[in-house]
Amino acid sequence: MNRVFLYFLIYILGVTMAIAQVKSENIILQNGQIELPGTLTHTSEKQPLLIWVHGSGNIDRNGNQLGTPVKASYIKQFRDAVNKENIAFFSFDKRTSNKKNSAFLKNTKITDFVLDVQEVVKHFKKDKRFSKIVLIGHSQGSLIAMLASKNVDKYISIAGAGETIDKTILKQLNAKNPTLGKAAKQQFDTLKIKGKIETVNPFLISIFAKPNQPFLLSWMQLNPTKEIKKVKKPTLIIQGTKDLQVKIEDAKALNEAKPNAKLVLIENMNHVLKQITKNEDNLTSYYSNTFSISEKLIEVVVKFVKQ
């Protein structure tokens, strides 16, 4: 009985020590007047560092969305999982999720997000504690990370679109409401030709509101299949089969554009990287942190990072 207790005590102490080894640092980076506060977690020196690049929306460092019910905490879950595999991780509050940046967000373009990531990379290039830097871009961040990948060692795309954003949005709208899809195409055409839309369809205001137009115009001019060809680093493309926003065809299009990239399709992973067994849980998982992150995702990423 004493021996069993001793083994149990050793096990508990081992777990406690492993948890204690994860060091956390709050770091505030600046891109001009833009403040980018983030969290760095690591277990030791000379380990690879993953830098997370966000998807669309005002997403914070943990994968939650300011002012919305989206509380999936998928970035935090990802951070905790890779730290257990002795990989360092840094994620920051996207410029749109930090209220201190509100005064500086007018006329934001997608290239501004690229500049934010480049500032983050520049900071960690000077930090000699890490053996390599890997950019991991999720959703919209897949494209942003492509554009910011010059000075890193590897690049990972998760749920990245394989076409311009106007085509992606039109596909989504046409699938639900073809009439609305037709109206949206007219709005996109106007934006392309005139650079702005004076009269916004009231049913499409969430997409084409005037403050959104400069950003949308800059985004739709970038084709991910063209941009990924410019990435000179080892590349991993990941796509979940339960993703409601980005399709397997997108991942395949990126892979066709860059055939030397590794493509991995993960069964039952959705857009917020959760393992989904019941279809009715797919949307629910956006609003709760009780759903587990895909174990296969972590396995695939860890293997690629450590290669």
Q: What's the CATH superfamily of 22-163+224-306?
A: Alpha/Beta hydrolase fold, catalytic domain (3.40.50.1820)
Q: 2 phi and psi, to 5 degrees?
A: -65, -35
Burial annotation 291-304 (CB, 10 A radius, 16+ → b, else e): bebbebbbebbbeb
Residue 249 contacts residue 162 (beta carbons within 8 Å): yes
Q: Which residues pair with 150 in a beta bridge?
A: none
What is each CA distance from 248 to 233, 257, 283, 294, in whole angstroms? 22, 14, 18, 17
Residue 120 contacts residue 90 (beta carbons within 8 Å): yes
> What is the chain's pLDDT, residue by residue, as a tens digit (307 residues)?
455 544 544 444 454 444 548 999 999 999 999 999 999 999 988 999 999 999 998 999 999 998 888 899 999 999 999 999 999 999 999 999 999 999 999 889 999 999 999 999 999 999 999 999 999 999 999 999 999 999 999 999 999 999 999 999 999 899 889 999 999 999 999 999 999 999 999 999 999 999 999 999 999 999 999 999 999 999 999 999 999 999 999 999 999 999 999 999 999 999 999 999 999 999 999 999 999 999 999 999 999 999 9
Domain ranges of the chain: 22-163+224-306, 165-221
> What local confidence, expressed as pLDDT, does residue 172 receive?
87
What is each CA distance from 183 to 33, 81, 173, 176, 190, in whole angstroms? 38, 44, 10, 13, 11
* Alpha-carbon dihedral angle through residues 283, 245, 289, 30, given to the nearest 10 degrees: -150
The two structure tokens encoding residue 253 = 């299009």
Residue 241 contacts residue 269 (beta carbons within 8 Å): yes
> What local confidence, expressed as pLDDT, does residue 2 receive?
56
Cα 218 to the center of its chain, rounded Å: 19
The pTM for the full model equals 0.91
> What local confidence, expressed as pLDDT, does residue 3 receive?
57
